[in-house]
C-alpha cells in the first residue's frame, strides 16, 4: 500500500515536471519568441546570430566631433576582410597578395588558422591604402572585400567629459521601455556626454558583412556574403562639441609630461565660454568606478584663488583704497608668522598675503553678512555653470554629466566666528568650487563682468552634416559685477604676473601676456612620510589686453614641493600660442 502511494506521488511529480517543461518549451518556441524574459530577448534573432559569421563595419551609434568637424570618438580605417570559406576553394590569392604587398604564404596562413573572418588593416607597407582597397573590390570575388571599418577610439580624448559606452541591459530597459527594437546587447552611454546625449546617439541599424554557416562552419546558402546597412541619410546623429582636437591632445600630453596624477585643466574660449580642452586625472579605467570621476566638475578647496571674490567685494564696497595697508607680517589669524611687511590690497593680492584678505573679509561681514556669497554668485561660483535649457521635449537638459555646484558657507553661524571667516576668506573651511566654475569666473572678469553658461556642445547634426539643433549662448542668471569692478580685478590679476614679488611672475616671459591668480589649499591629508598634501592652483586668462582664453589648472593632493601646476599652466599657454600661430 505504501509503495503504491509513493509510486503515485512520484508519477504526479514527474507529470508536473514534464508539464512545466512543455509549458516552458511552448513559451520559448511559440508564445514569446520575440520578447523572451524581462529583457524582451528576440530568440529568433539570437538563434540566427548563432549561425552567422559577421564583420561589423559600424555599430550604428552616433558619434562626437570637435569644433571643426574632426571625429573625437570613432575613426574610419581602410580594411580588407577575408572570409574563412576562401580556404576551401580556388580564389585569386596571387592578385590579392600583389595588391596588398603580402606573400601568398602569409595570406594562406592567416586563412588556415581562421575560424572567423580575417580583418587586415596593415600590409607590407603599413596601413591599407585607399588605392589598395579599390583594387581589391575590382576583383569582385565573393569572400574578399575592401571596406572602411569604424572603430571606437579606446584611448579617447577628454574621456571623463565625453564619457564611455557599455552594455547595461537593466539601464537600457529602464531608460527606453518603449524601444522594442533595441537588442539587449546595445551599448548605451554610462557617463559623460555619452550619457547626457544618449537618446540622440542610439543606433537605428548597424552596418555589417555577414554570411550564414552550418554546424561545421561551412556556408549555408552558398558563398554569398550580404551587406547590411541603414540607407537613411540622416542617422546616426553626430554631436558637434566645442573641443579643439589639437588643443585637447596637447593639453593632455602636457599633464602627462608633468606627471599630474590627480587634478587636471580646463581651457575656455572667452568669447562664448565654450570648452576648447578639458582633462581630468587619473585617466579613465573602465574596470574602476573611481576613475570615472571628473574632477573638473567636482567642487574642491580653491585656496587663494578665492581671494578674487574677496577683492571684488572690497572694490564694490570701497575698501580698496591704495593708502589702506595691512600688516603682512601676520598670518591669517593676525598672529606673527609671515614676513611680507605692510602691503595695500593690490600688493597683497599679487603676493597672496593672507592677512590682507582675512581682514577685508572680517570688515565686509560686519557691514553685510551675505556679501561674500553674494559676490561669489555675481562671479558665477555658487551654482552649476554648464549649459542648461530646453532641448525638444526635455525642459531642463544639462550638457555636463553630474556637474557639481560651488558653495561658500557650510553653517551660517560661521559668519560670527572670526577664525571661520578667516579660513573662508582664503578659500578653505567650507569653500568648494569646481575648476570649471573658476575658469568661467576668469572668463567673466575678462569679458568685463558678463556671466555666461559654459558650453561643451554647439549643436546636433544629421549624418549628412545638416543641423538638427543648436545650443545658443545662455547668460548665467542673477546679478553681475559692474564694469568698473571688472576693470579693477583685471588690473589685480595682471599685477600677480608683472609684480616683482607676484606669485605668477614665472609667466612673464610667455608669448602671451597672462593675468591670473595662484592658490594653495590644505586638504587635511598627509603622505606616508607625513608631508602635507595640497591642491595647487593657477587660474587666469590671456592675452591680457585682448582676452581670448581662460585657463584653470589644479594639481590635487600633492606635496607643495612636487606640484606641477605652474609648469603645466606655462606649457599649455605656450602651446596654445604655437597652435594659433600655425592656424593663421
304, 359, 515, 518: the catalytic one is 304
Q: How far apart are CA 357 and CA 302, in angstroms?
A: 15
Residue 296: name the closest of 377, 374, 382, 384 by CA.
384
Max Cα distance, the chain (Å): 114
**481, 499 contact by CB (below 8 A):** no
- Please tell me the distance from the alpha carbon of residue 576 to that of residue 566, in angstroms, as a whole number: 15
Q: Under the phi-then-psi rule, with left for phi > 0, alpha for psi from -120 to 50, and beta for the rest, what region is 267?
A: beta
Measured at the CA of 409, the angle between CA 407 and CA 414, to 5 degrees, comes to 170
Q: Measured between alpha carbons, how far is 396 from 391 in angstroms, rounded to an integer?
A: 8
Q: Which DSSP letter does residue 283 get?
A: P
CA distance 143 to 87: 10
Q: Residue 397: is it exposed, middle or buried by C-beta count within 10 angstroms (0-12/13-18/19+)?
A: middle
Locate the DSSP E strands across 385-508. 388-391, 394-398, 457-461, 467-470
C-alpha 371/C-alpha 358 separation (Å) is 14
Beta bridge partners of 77: 149
Annotated catalytic residue 129: no
CA atoms of 220 and 62, how far apart (whole Å):
33
How far are the Cα atoms of 308, 423, 534 from residue 303, in angstroms, in the given order? 11, 9, 9
Q: Are 100 and 124 in contact (CB under 8 A)?
A: yes
d(CA 376, CA 438): 11
Asked whether the beta carbons of 119 and 144 are under 8 A apart, the reply is: no
C-alpha–C-alpha distance, residues 452 and 176, integer Å: 33
DSSP for 16-27, please give it: HHHHHHHHHHHI
Angle (CA) 291 292 295, round 5°: 85
Radius of gyration of the chain (CA): 31
Give start and end residues of each alpha helix (H) in 379-515. 418-425, 435-446, 483-498
Instruction: Check if the beta carbon of residue 276 is closer than 8 Å to that of residue 282.
Output: no
* H-helix segments, 499-558: none
Q: Alpha-carbon distance 47 to 41, whole Å?
A: 11
Alpha helices in 182-263 (DSSP H): 193-196, 198-201, 245-257
Residues labelled catalytic: 304
Amino acid at each position: 500500500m505504501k509503495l503504491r502511494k509513493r509510486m503515485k506521488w512520484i508519477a504526479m511529480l514527474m507529470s508536473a515536471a514534464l508539464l512545466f517543461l512543455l509549458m516552458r518549451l511552448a513559451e520559448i518556441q511559440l508564445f514569446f519568441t520575440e520578447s523572451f524574459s524581462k529583457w524582451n530577448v528576440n530568440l529568433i534573432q539570437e538563434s540566427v546570430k548563432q549561425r552567422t559569421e559577421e564583420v561589423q563595419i559600424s555599430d550604428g551609434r552616433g558619434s562626437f566631433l570637435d569644433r571643426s568637424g574632426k571625429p573625437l570618438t570613432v575613426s574610419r580605417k581602410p580594411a580588407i576582410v577575408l572570409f574563412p570559406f576562401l580556404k576551401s576553394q580556388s580564389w585569386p590569392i596571387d592578385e590579392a597578395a600583389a595588391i596588398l604587398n603580402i606573400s601568398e604564404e602569409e595570406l594562406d596562413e592567416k586563412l588556415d588558422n581562421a575560424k572567423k573572418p580575417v580583418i587586415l588593416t596593415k600590409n607590407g607597407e603599413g596601413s591599407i591604402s585607399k588605392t589598395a582597397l579599390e583594387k581589391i573590390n575590382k576583383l569582385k570575388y565573393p569572400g574578399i572585400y575592401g571596406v572602411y571599418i569604424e572603430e571606437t577610439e579606446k584611448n579617447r580624448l577628454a574621456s571623463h567629459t565625453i564619457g564611455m559606452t557599455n552594455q547595461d541591459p537593466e539601464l537600457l530597459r529602464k531608460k527606453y521601455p518603449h524601444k522594442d527594437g533595441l537588442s539587449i546587447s546595445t551599448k548605451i552611454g554610462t557617463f559623460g556626454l555619452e550619457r547626457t546625449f544618449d537618446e540622440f546617439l542610439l543606433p537605428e541599424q548597424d552596418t555589417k558583412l555577414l554570411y550564414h554557416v552550418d554546424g561545421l562552419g561551412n556556408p549555408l546558402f552558398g558563398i554569398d556574403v550580404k551587406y547590411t546597412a541603414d540607407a537613411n541619410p540622416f542617422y546616426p546623429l553626430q554631436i558637434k562639441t566645442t573641443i579643439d582636437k589639437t588643443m585637447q591632445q596637447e593639453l593632455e600630453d602636457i599633464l602627462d609630461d608633468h606627471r599630474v596624477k590627480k587634478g587636471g585643466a580646463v581651457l575656455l574660449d572667452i568669447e562664448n565660454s565654450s570648452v576648447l580642452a578639458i582633462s581630468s586625472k587619473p585617466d579613465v579605467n573602465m574596470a574602476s568606478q573611481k576613475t570615472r570621476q571628473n574632477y573638473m566638475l567636482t567642487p574642491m578647496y580653491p585656496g587663494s584663488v578665492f581671494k578674487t571674490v574677496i577683492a571684488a567685494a572690497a572694490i564694490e564696497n570701497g575698501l580698496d583704497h591704495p593708502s589702506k595697508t595691512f600688516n603682512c607680517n601676520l598670518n591669517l589669524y593676525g598672529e606673527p608668522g609671515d614676513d611680507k611687511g605692510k602691503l595695500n590690497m593690490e600688493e597683497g593680492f599679487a603676493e597672496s598675503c593672507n592677512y590682507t584678505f582675512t581682514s577685508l573679509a572680517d570688515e565686509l561681514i560686519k557691514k553685510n553678512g551675505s556679501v561674500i556669497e553674494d559676490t561669489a554668485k555675481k562671479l558665477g561660483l555658487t551654482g552649476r555653470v554648464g549649459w542648461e535649457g530646453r532641448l525638444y521635449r526635455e525642459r531642463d537638459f544639462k550638457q555636463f554629466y553630474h556637474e557639481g555646484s560651488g558653495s561658500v558657507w557650510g553653517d551660517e553661524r560661521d559668519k560670527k566666528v572670526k577664525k571661520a571667516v578667516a579660513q573662508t576668506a582664503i578659500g578653505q573651511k567650507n569653500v568648494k568650487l569646481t575648476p570649471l566654475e573658476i575658469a568661467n569666473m576668469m572668463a567673466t572678469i575678462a569679458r568685463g563682468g558678463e556671466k555666461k553658461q559654459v558650453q561643451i556642445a554647439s549643436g546636433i547634426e544629421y549624418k549628412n552634416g545638416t543641423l538638427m539643433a543648436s545650443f545658443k549662448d545662455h547668460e548665467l542668471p542673477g546679478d553681475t559685477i559692474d564694469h568698473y569692478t571688472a576693470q579693477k580685478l583685471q588690473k589685480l590679476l595682471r599685477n600677480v604676473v608683472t609684480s616683482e614679488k607676484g606669485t605668477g611672475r614665472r609667466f612673464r616671459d610667455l608669448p602671451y601676456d597672462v593675468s591670473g591668480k595662484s592658490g594653495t589649499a590644505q586638504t587635511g591629508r598627509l603622505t606616508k612620510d607625513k608631508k602635507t598634501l595640497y591642491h595647487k592652483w593657477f587660474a587666469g586668462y590671456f592675452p591680457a589686453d585682448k582676452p581670448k582664453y581662460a585657463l584653470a589648472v589644479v594639481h590635487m593632493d600633492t606635496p607643495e614641493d612636487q606640484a606641477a601646476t605652474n609648469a603645466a599652466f606655462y606649457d599649455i599657454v605656450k602651446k596654445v600660442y604655437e597652435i594659433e600661430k600655425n592656424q593663421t
